[in-house]
Structures are given as C-alpha cells and as structure tokens.
C-alpha cells in the first residue's frame, strides 16, 4: 500500500506520522519537549537540540509500521510557523532537514507547508477531503490565537489573518496561569482536568475587543495578582481561565458571523480542551454554523496534517 510520511518539529513537540492513500492514519509518534519545572517555554537552541535527539527515537518507534508499509510515495513537512515570507523559527528546520534528506535518498517528492497549515490539515484529514470553497479558520495553540480566512490552493492553504489576539495567545494564558499554580509546562491538559472538577458556573473575566482583536493580558495579570494575594481553589481558577478564554473567542466568532461565516475549521492544541470544545459546538448549533474540528488527540501538535497533504497533493498530481 502506498504511504505518506509527515514530520513536524514545533515549539512543543517532535512529531512523525504515516497516512495511507485513503487518508487513514497508520502511525502517529510524538514526544513533548522537556521544560524545567517552573519554566514557561524553551529557547530555540534547546528546541533544536531536543528535536535532533527525538527524531531518531521516533523513527525507531515507527519502524514496525515502516516495515509493514514500506512504499513511501511522498513526504510532507513543516518549515515555518505561518505561510508568510517573514515567518521563521529554527525549530522547524530540524524536521525540514530530516525530511529533505529522506526525500532525496528515497527519490520521492517533498511537500513543504507551514505549521498553521499542518494544524488545519489535521482537521481536514479527519474529514478525508479538502474541498475548493474558502472557509473560516480558528487556530488556537500555545503561541497562536488567530482568526483566519482560508482558501485551498495548489501549495496547500492560502491563509489571511483577519483577527485574533493582540498580545498573549489563549495557550500562553493557560500556561502562565498553570505554571503559577505549580503545574508543569505546557499546562493545558492539567488545566482541562482541574476545570472539569469544578461543577459550579464561573463567568470568567471580561475580554477587551476591538476590530477583530482580543486581549488576554489584562485577565492574565488579574489572575496572577489574585493568586499572589489570596489562597485559592485550583479547580475554580482553572475553570475561570477557560471561561475567560471563551469570553474572548465568542467575540471573534461574533465578528465572523458579521462577515457571513457559515463554516469554521477550528484547530490547534487549545481545541483539545473539553470545556472550550463544548462551548464552540454549542455556539455553532445556536448560530447555524458548521464547526469542523479534529479529534482531541489530533488537535495538539502532530504531523498528520503534513502527511495528509503529502498524500492528497501526490495523488492529485498523478491523476
């Protein structure tokens, strides 16, 4: 069976994936980058170092699937955060160099996309199609809160940012609050678990909005002051943080509705959060908007989007 390899080396995770010609995920291996206790991220040099160590280990884990599906037809890889000329981050060159070398040795095409496209393609892989019509996108991850207008093209996805966060991202808000509570970085999964343990309704803080842009820096400062001055319930703070994020996201979605949004592809690690997924689906039902998301496990950083695009693009070229 023909298979397609995907590689993504982000600020959080080293990822490799195999997808077949029907867009079924055959294998998915990842390793989260290690951050010291109390840390809120890594230097790019440390990311590159960890990716360089992790990639051989992940390919060794992938070896069983590679033996069963040896006919790799193409490779997809991410080389930058966004599809823009000014977008650059050394961490992605760890995976890009690996993918370029493998493509040369195997004599197969290399399809290069951005990390943002990779996240959106992970959703489309779940749907097993891309389509030709433009759609709205929401990318929520550790470093990104972007509201997007997306058009499929021959290179992948042509993306225009039409709104989002003007300062810290939703993921940074979660991580900073989590680390302040003593949780490990990244803190998204722990915040999700804690929030589910608090059953009462929490309204969250108001979020500043203007012309498609929201701001989480004020609520984050509010949370830090509160935790520094008082004893607090971690489960309530977790629920408050997520409720605050939703207050901001709802403003972005209202902005999309004003523009005539009928479909939203929502991607990124923050979308693996149970509370936010429920809020998003409820909003879509009320406003008659089609909401497409990946399964929670494919919302976090992974390489299935890159593998999917390699499979899709290769087969389209061969028709």
Q: Do both 241 and 306 map to the same domain?
A: no
CATH number at residue 255: 3.30.420.40
d(CA 140, CA 271): 7
Q: Do both 74 and 127 map to the same domain?
A: yes
The answer to whether position 259 is within a domain reads yes
**pLDDT tens track for 86-121:** 999 999 999 999 999 999 999 999 999 999 999 999
SS3 4: strand
**pLDDT tens track for 132-174:** 999 999 999 999 999 999 999 999 999 999 999 999 999 999 9
Check whether 58 has a pLDDT greater than 90: yes
Q: Which residue reads 């499929």 in tokens?
A: 152
The neighbour count for residue 43, using CB atoms within 10 Å, is 9
Mean pLDDT of the chain: 96
Give residue 69's pLDDT. 65
- At 82, list the tokens: 């966004």
The answer to whether position 148 is within a domain reads no
d(CA 269, CA 7): 17
Q: Do both 241 and 197 map to the same domain?
A: yes
The answer to whether position 142 is within a domain reads no
Q: Do both 99 and 203 map to the same domain?
A: no
Check whether 67 has a pLDDT greater than 80: no
d(CA 174, CA 178): 6
The answer to whether position 308 is within a domain reads yes
d(CA 20, CA 279): 33
**pLDDT tens track for 2-38:** 999 999 999 999 999 999 999 999 999 999 999 998 8
Q: Do both 211 and 267 map to the same domain?
A: yes
Q: Do both 187 and 264 map to the same domain?
A: yes
The answer to whether position 24 is within a domain reads yes
Q: Do both 50 and 12 map to the same domain?
A: yes
207 Cβ contact list (under 8 Å, min separation 6) = 214, 215, 216, 218, 219, 244, 247, 248, 251
Q: Label residue 64 by pLDDT band (50, 70, 90).
A: confident
Reported pTM: 0.96
Give residue 70's pLDDT. 66
Q: Do both 21 and 58 map to the same domain?
A: yes
Check whether 244 has a pLDDT greater than 70: yes
First to last CA, the chain: 17
Q: Do both 72 and 122 map to the same domain?
A: yes
**Share of residues in the chain with pLDDT > 70 (%):** 99
**pLDDT tens track for 206-242:** 999 999 999 999 999 999 998 998 789 999 999 999 9
Indicate the number of domains in the chain.
2
The answer to whether position 140 is within a domain reads no
The answer to whether position 137 is within a domain reads no
Give residue 231's pLDDT. 87
The answer to whether position 153 is within a domain reads no
* CB crowding 113-127: b at 16 or more within 10 Å, else e: bbbbbbbbbbbbbbe
Q: Do both 302 and 282 map to the same domain?
A: no
Q: Do both 203 and 285 map to the same domain?
A: yes
Q: Do both 99 and 9 map to the same domain?
A: yes
| Structural domain for 21, as ranges | 3-131+298-318
d(CA 305, CA 309): 6
- At 92, list the tokens: 């992605």
């Amino acid at each position: 069976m023909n298979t397609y390899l995907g590689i993504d080396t982000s600020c959080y995770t080293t990822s490799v994936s195999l997808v077949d010609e029907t867009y079924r995920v055959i294998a998915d291996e990842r390793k989260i980058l290690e951050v010291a206790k109390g840390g809120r991220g890594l230097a790019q040099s440390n990311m590159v170092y960890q990716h360089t160590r992790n990639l051989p280990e992940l390919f060794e884990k992938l070896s069983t699937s590679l033996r069963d599906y040896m006919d790799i037809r193409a490779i997809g890889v991410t080389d930058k955060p966004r599809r823009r000329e000014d977008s650059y981050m050394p961490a992605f060159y760890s995976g890009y160099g690996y993918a370029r070398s493998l493509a040369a040795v195997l004599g197969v095409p290399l399809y290069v996309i951005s990390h943002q496209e990779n996240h959106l393609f992970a959703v489309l892989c779940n749907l097993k199609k891309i389509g030709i019509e433009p759609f709205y996108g929401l990318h929520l991850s550790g470093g990104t809160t972007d509201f997007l207008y997306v058009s499929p093209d021959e290179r992948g996805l042509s993306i225009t940012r039409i709104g989002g966060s003007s300062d810290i991202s939703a993921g940074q808000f979660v991580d900073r609050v989590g680390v302040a509570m003593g949780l490990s970085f990244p803190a998204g999964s722990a915040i999700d678990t804690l929030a589910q343990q608090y059953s009462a309704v929490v309204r969250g803080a108001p979020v500043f909005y203007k012309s498609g842009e929201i701001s989480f820096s004020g609520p984050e400062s509010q949370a830090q002051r509160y935790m520094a001055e008082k004893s607090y319930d971690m489960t309530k703070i977790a629920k408050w943080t997520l409720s605050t994020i939703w207050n901001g996201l709802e403003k972005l979605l209202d902005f999309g509705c004003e523009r005539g949004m009928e479909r939203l592809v929502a991607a990124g690690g923050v979308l693996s959060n149970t509370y936010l997924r429920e809020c998003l689906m409820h909003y879509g039902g009320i406003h008659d908007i089609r909401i497409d998301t990946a399964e929670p496990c494919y919302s976090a950083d992974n390489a299935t989007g890159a593998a999917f695009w390699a499979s899709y693009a290769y087969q389209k070229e061969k028709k």
